[in-house]
Amino acid sequence: MKILIKGGRLIDPANQIDDRMDIYIQNGKIRALQTSSPKRSLKDLTEYVLIPADDLIVTPALIDMHTHLREPGQEYKETILTGVQAAVAGGFGAVACMPNTMPVNDNQSVCSYILSKAREARLARVFPIGAISMGLAGESLSEFGEMKESGAVGFSDDGRPVMNAQLMRRALEYAKTFGLPLIAHCEDLHLSQDGVMNEGPTSTWLGLRGVPAAAEEVMVQRDIQLCQLTESRLHIAHVSTAGSVQIIREAKKRGLPVTAETAPHYFSLTEEAVVGFDTLAKVNPPLRTREDQQALVKGLRDGTIDAIASDHAPHSPLEKEVEFDRAASGLIGLETALPLTLQLVHKGALTWAQALAKFTVGPAGVLGLEGWGRLRIEGPAHLTLIDPALEFEVDVQKFRSKSRNSPFHGQRLKGKAVLTMVDGRVVYNHLNPNLE
């Protein structure tokens, strides 16, 4: 099949393209990119399926480098199928899924299982992240080599930190054999002990136990020192504090192989979202303060933060309609991550190219995803089309995710993905659902 995406504004941050381009696609590959000319006759293009994109932004397909798909083990919250359905509806052509499933993805069998389910679903591409430690127990290394052979693109104990500094050191060293990054969930469990929200004025008055910013920052600093020691690639997950941004900025200045991501809720909400004991706003690391939000945006702008990831964490009412202390942490984000980020673009805090880089070349670079994050002639046609003017109200009932735990329900946002294409196949089409 031949497809022509015509007249859209192509923004490909990796190639520094921001221009009206026609994109010719054949057999799942990009055949040609041509400056769009309205005069060109369509007569000689009758064999092409035409996707008119005059008012749309076209970009390399978005990548969510931090997702929880819950399968295997917690299929009542999400399955690989519903997860990738949500992903493509959010504009993501690829997701990297965290290993805290049941059983834990700490071996090649679970990796292979996830990939076989993803192939069946045939929507977004799924890249598994393997566990750093067996069973996420923080005691011994899991089999990085075998997991890489089965498709893992990085390693993380996400959801919990590697408290043992020696294990973290060894993991960083060992990962060098296979050229894959470690993704660190930075939290000192002694400092965050029993904490359920940010430590600050709001926790003081709600009487909820606080997690100080330092609980994250001391571990960011520790892992950066270990990165320096081992010269191995380190990626800091879900950065939430101004202090972490500063530490990472300085590490990058020193030339260390460190990268970082944040999530949209950290720059869209503050700790005040918890007032009223709203368990939908309970997340780890916790929502922070206005100053942290500003530092994160600055970090996105100056390149300290390489990627924006959803940290999509589905939970059912069983985990959320309970006492705040007892509620599970996490919120779903696949279907709101891009629109929330675009609010920064509308405000002028980020340029389009900066915002889209955090979902394309940024995560593709961290995870080393060949064929993703930038367009290349004869490369795979992974594309996302965005309507920058589309205004909508977030409605969790319309989400494709199996879960509904979003604190953004009811919020009005502007700009969303309207078409997602993977290998030249339209896997989501808001413009014309029949074409999917």
Partner 1 sequence: MSFSRHHLLGMKGLTREEIEVILTTAESLKEISFRDIKKVPTLRGKTVVNFFHEASTRTRTSFEIAAKRLSADTVSLSAGSSSLVKGETLIDTGRNLEAMNPDVIVIRHSMGGAPHLLSRFIRASIINAGDGLHEHPTQALLDLMTMREKKGHLQGLQVLIVGDVTHSRVARSNMIGLKTMGAQVMVAGPPTMIPPHLEAYGVEVGYRLEEFLPRADVIMMLRLQLERQQQMLFPSLREYSRFFGLHPGNVRKARKDVIIMHPGPLNRGVEIHPEVADGPYSVILDQVTNGVAVRMALLYLLLGGEKK
Report the residue number, 120 or 321, with the smaller CB distance to partner 1.
Answer: 321
Shortest gap between Cβ of 211 and partner 1 (angstroms)? 12
Q: How many helices (H) and strands (E) would you count in the chain?
A: 14, 18
Segment lying near partner 1 (by CB under 8 A), choices 18-26, 60-68, 203-211, 377-385: 203-211
199 binds partner 1 (CB under 8 A): yes
Binding residue (CB under 8 A) for partner 1 from 52, 201, 303, 410: 201
Max CA pair span of the chain: 70
The least CB distance from residue 326 to partner 1, in Å, is 7
* Residue 162 or 242 with smaller CB distance to partner 1: 242
Contact call for residue 272 and partner 1 (CB under 8 A): no
Q: Are strands 48-52 and 2-12 parallel, antiparallel or unpaired?
A: parallel
- List Cβ<8 Å contacts ≥24 apart for 40-49: 45/4, 47/2, 48/2, 48/3, 48/4, 48/24, 49/1, 49/2, 49/3, 49/4, 49/435
With binding defined as CB under 8 A, does residue 208 bind partner 1? yes
Rule CB under 8 A: say whether 404 interacts with partner 1. no
Candidates 44-52, 69-77, 171-179, 199-207 — which segment interacts with partner 1 by CB under 8 A? 199-207
Q: Tokens for 257, please give them.
A: 């192989």
Helix, strand, coil in percent for the chain, rounding step 5:
35, 25, 40
User: How far, CA to CA in Å, does 371 sit from each of 84, 293, 411?
Assistant: 19, 32, 35
Active-site residues: which are they? 311
* Among positions 120, 291, 321, 395, the unique one binding partner 1 when judged by CB under 8 A: 321
Tell me which amino acid residue 179 is.
G
Residue from 163, 191, 206, 431 that binds partner 1 (CB under 8 A)? 206
**58: contact with partner 1 by CB under 8 A:** no
Nearest Cα residue to 300 out of 342, 338, 349? 349
Q: Does 322 bind partner 1 (CB under 8 A)?
A: yes
Is the Cβ of residue 201 or residue 410 nearer to partner 1 in the bound state? 201
Among 203, 270, 384, 406, binds partner 1 (CB under 8 A): 203
Positions touching partner 1 (CB under 8 A) are: 199-201, 203-210, 276-277, 321-326
